[in-house]
Amino acid sequence: MCTCVYENGIIFKNYGFPAIFLCVGLLLTAGGIFNRGAWTNCAPIFEQFIFGNLGSSKFVTILSAQLIGAAFASKVAYLIWNLTAPYSAAHLENASNLDCVLHYKQSAGIVIGFEIIGAFVVRVVVSLLLNRPALIKLIPFAISAYLTLALYIVGVPGLNPIVATARLYGCQGIDNTSFMILYWFCPVLGWLAGAYFVGQKGPVKKTAKEVKAAKKEKKAAAAAKKSD
pLDDT in tens, 40-77: 789 999 999 999 899 999 999 999 999 998 888 888 88
Q: How many Å apart are CA 47 and CA 199, to the nearest integer? A: 12
CB within 8 Å of 159: residues ≥ 6 apart: 115, 118, 119, 122, 143, 146, 147, 150, 187
Q: How many Å apart are CA 210 and CA 61, to the nearest integer? A: 32
CATH code (residue 39): 1.20.1080.10
Q: Has residue 178 got a pLDDT over 90? A: yes
For residues 116 and 5, is the Cβ–Cβ distance under 8 A?
no
- pLDDT in the model for residue 190: 96
Q: Has residue 37 got a pLDDT over 70? A: no
- pLDDT in the model for residue 74: 80
In the chain, how many domains are there?
Answer: 1
- Could you list the residue range(s) of the whole structural domain that residue 43 is in? 2-227
- pLDDT in the model for residue 161: 92
Q: Which pTM does this prediction carry?
A: 0.81
- Helix, strand or coil for residue 199? coil
Q: Has residue 30 got a pLDDT over 90? A: no
Q: Tell me how far the alpha carbon of residue 120 is from its chain's centroid.
A: 13
214: pLDDT confidence band, cut at 50, 70 and 90? low
